[in-house]
Amino acid sequence: MTQLPPAKQGMPCQRLKQILQTLADPTPEQVVAEIDRCLSGGLGLPPRVFFETTEQASVAISITDPDAIILYANAAFERVTGYRADEVIGKNESLLSYKTTPRGYYERMWTDIKAGKSWTGRLVNRRKDGSRYLAELTISPVLSESGAIQYFLGIHRDITEVRHLHAQVASQKALIETVLDLAPMAVALLDDADKVVLDNHEYKKLASLFPGGEPARHVLRALFGEDGSHFKLPGEGFSEREFVIERGGSPMRWFSCSGVWFDRRETSAEAFLDSHRRRYLVLVMDDITPHKRRQEEQRLATLRAMLAEGEMVQSLREAISGAIYQLQGPVNLIEAALKMAQRRGSSGDSSALIGVLREALESGQSALDRLTQSMPSEAQESAAPVNLNEIVRDVLSVSTGPLLSAGVSVEWKPAPVLPAIPGRATALRTMLKQLVDNAIQAMVAHRSLDRELRIITSSSDDGVMIQVEDTGPGVPEGLRTKIFEPFFTTHRPMSRNAGMGLALAQEVVARHGGSLRIDPHYERGCRFEVFFPRGSREVE
């Protein structure tokens, strides 16, 4: 066993001598008590206990003189370094140096410990067999009563394995982060308080879309509402849920989002003794905007074709209805003339006239019947919940060309939340497009300098409303009811407007249980108001 260094063995005696000199006339009891205190270091423990404790400590302990000459080394020191204590006592601690540590590092260490401060650092050490190990070393100066450095206490442990494990974890983390960063989709790892603990480049890029907030939280709120508690249930994940980001001024972005929960054991100090597991959510967001744009373009092209076909059917119906309307007058006159002639009797002249009139009536009625039969029927469409914001967006999208060529600027103010109404989307689109086309036509015909179209949707306890405003000439008070009558038009007789547009628009709105009117108080141009009361049901 290692012997206590001679200098250390002498310490309690010197201290006792000093104390006894301060006592004027010490009694035997006082002397015994002082001897006891000195031997036990004032703690009631004999010095042997300190020695054995140090000797059996599991960390390598050495005591040196102020020049790092080793005076004592414990058993753990022997195990860690491979040197026996008697091989190192009297040698400098530098015999452990692997000679790779930069000189400046030692200089800083020595500056600290010479100044009486404790120093902790890592050094590459060499064992007796020449192998290296990484030592975590703390050197503490042991001061005399006057504050001079008497010894240095060195405590070190081999942290090669720990360092290796740390390096492995760090490199695996770096690897995971690199792979994550290379992923083309945004990935974030959230703890159970929705705090992002790991993310990738693509996720960081999303920050610009959500100024002043964590993108993941916005996304979860958009997908699951404010509370979102139901998707946190055990085992619940979700896959390919789509959401759209719409920011005023910037193009829409679509994302497909999936989430997977997993449990992980807590590593914090408080959780050391219990087996508490924490839940984490891996959130993956894939930007599907290009794909969605293509889909949307296809949808709009189909919509355009449907609306164009609808318009064609409508103008045919208008033309045929106009012809029927025009023909009905003469046929009615012929019928009246026939009845008159029949009342007068069937003399020679009259019977010839009756015959001619009957023939004329028959051919007029058969022309009317043929016209009625040739009327193209309206497209059949089944009713479904319709969001009027989407109807407005569709109509504005398909009207982009006419709006641009007419130099009309558009302001679109959608209600943030708009309850769906039961309805027929195509009929409603046709109706709204009629109002938009009318507004463009009115502003162009009036040669308005400021051509503005504003569409506002709103919702109240009573129902939902679309307002279509233009900066055209407006509709004079006397015509505000008339313009909804069939075949009423303010356009030239030969223009392509047969005067059925608003009549049909009103019919569509009425079939949805709503109302279409002109706001009499609007003065900048014309404002049409389409209103669907809450709970309105479409009527056939």
> What is the smallest separation between the CB atom of 184 and ligand FAD, expressed in angstroms?
49
Q: 3-class DSSP state for residue 117?
A: coil
Q: CB neighbours of 209 closer than 8 A, spacing ≥ 6?
A: 215, 245, 247, 253
Q: How far is the CB of 93 from ligand FAD (least distance, A)?
A: 3
Do residues 281 and 190 touch, judged by C-beta distance below 8 A?
yes
Q: What residues contact residue 316 under an 8 Å CB cut-off, 6+ apart?
A: 375, 376
The CA distance from 130 to 122, in Å, is 18
Least gap, CB of 66 to ligand FAD (angstroms): 7
Residue 178 to residue 181: CA distance in whole angstroms: 5
Give pairs for 48-53: CB < 8 Å, separation 24+. 51/4
Looking up tokens 């792979």 gives 179
Looking at beta carbons only, is 5 or 322 nearer to ligand FAD?
5
DSSP per residue, 96-164: GB-S-S-HHHHHHHHHHHHTT--EEEEEEEE-TTS-EEEEEEEEEEEE-TTS-EEEEEEEEEE-HHHHH
DSSP category for residue 2: P
How many Å is the Cα radius of gyration of the chain? Answer: 48
End-to-end CA distance of the chain: 107
Query: Structure tokens of 467?
Result: 């307002």
Q: How far is the CB of 75 from ligand FAD (least distance, A)?
A: 17
Percentages of the chain per state (helix, strand, coil), in multiples of 5: 45, 25, 30
Structure tokens at 360: 């004329």
Toward ligand FAD, which CB reaches closer, 142 or 420? 142
Q: Position 490: which residue type?
A: T
Which of residues 91 and 253 has its CB atom nearest to ligand FAD in the complex? Answer: 91
* Least separation in angstroms between CB 162 and ligand FAD: 17
Q: Which is nearer to ligand FAD, 123 or 353 (CB)?
A: 123
Amino acid at 239: S
| Closer CB to ligand FAD, 68 or 327, in the complex | 68
Find, among 518, 433, 434, the residue nearest to 476 by Cα.
518
Q: Confirm if 392 and 457 have CB atoms less than 8 A apart.
A: yes
Tokens (6 digits) for 537: 């049901």
| Position with the least CB separation from ligand FAD | 154
Instruction: Give the nearer residue to ligand FAD in terms of CB position, either 122 or 253.
Output: 122
Q: CB nearer to ligand FAD: give 64 or 389.
A: 64
Output 38 or 123, the one with its CB closest to ligand FAD. 123
Q: Which is nearer to ligand FAD, 62 or 448 (CB)?
A: 62
Angle ∠(386,390,391) on CA atoms, nearest 5: 75
Q: Which of 191, 214, 193 is nearest to 204 (CA)?
A: 214
Task: For ligand FAD, give the closer residue by CB, 161 or 519.
Answer: 161
Shortest Cβ distance from residue 60 to ligand FAD (Å)?
A: 8
The enclosing H or E element of 161 equals helix 160-182
How near is the Cβ of 98 to ligand FAD at its closest, in Å? 7
Cβ 156 to ligand FAD shortest distance, Å = 6
**Interface ranges with ligand FAD (CB under 6 A):** 62, 64, 67-68, 92-94, 96-97, 99, 103, 106-107, 110, 114, 123, 125, 135, 137, 139, 152, 154, 156
The least distance separating ligand FAD from the CB of residue 69, rounded to whole angstroms, comes to 9
CA-CA distance, 141 to 154, in Å (whole number)?
A: 9
Closest C-alpha to 86, from 94, 76, 74: 74
Helix, coil or strand: residue 527: strand
Is the CB of 89 or the CB of 408 nearer to ligand FAD?
Answer: 89
Give every strand in the sheet of 409-413, ordered side by side.
Answer: 409-413, 452-459, 463-470, 526-533, 515-518
> How near is the Cβ of 164 to ligand FAD at its closest, in Å?
19
For tokens 């905007």, the residue is: 289
If the CB atoms of residues 92 and 258 are measured against ligand FAD, the closer one turns out to be 92
Sign of CA dihedral 212, 216, 220, 222: positive
| Shortest distance (Å) from residue 157 CB to ligand FAD | 11
When the beta carbons of 73 and 388 are compared against ligand FAD, the nearer one is 73
Write down the least CB distance from residue 94 to ligand FAD, Å.
3
> Nearest distance from residue 10's CB to ligand FAD, in Å?
21
- Strands of 398-525, DSSP E: 409-413, 421-423, 452-459, 463-470, 515-518
Closest to ligand FAD by CB, 125 or 200? 125
Nearest to 459 by CA among 387, 385, 383: 387
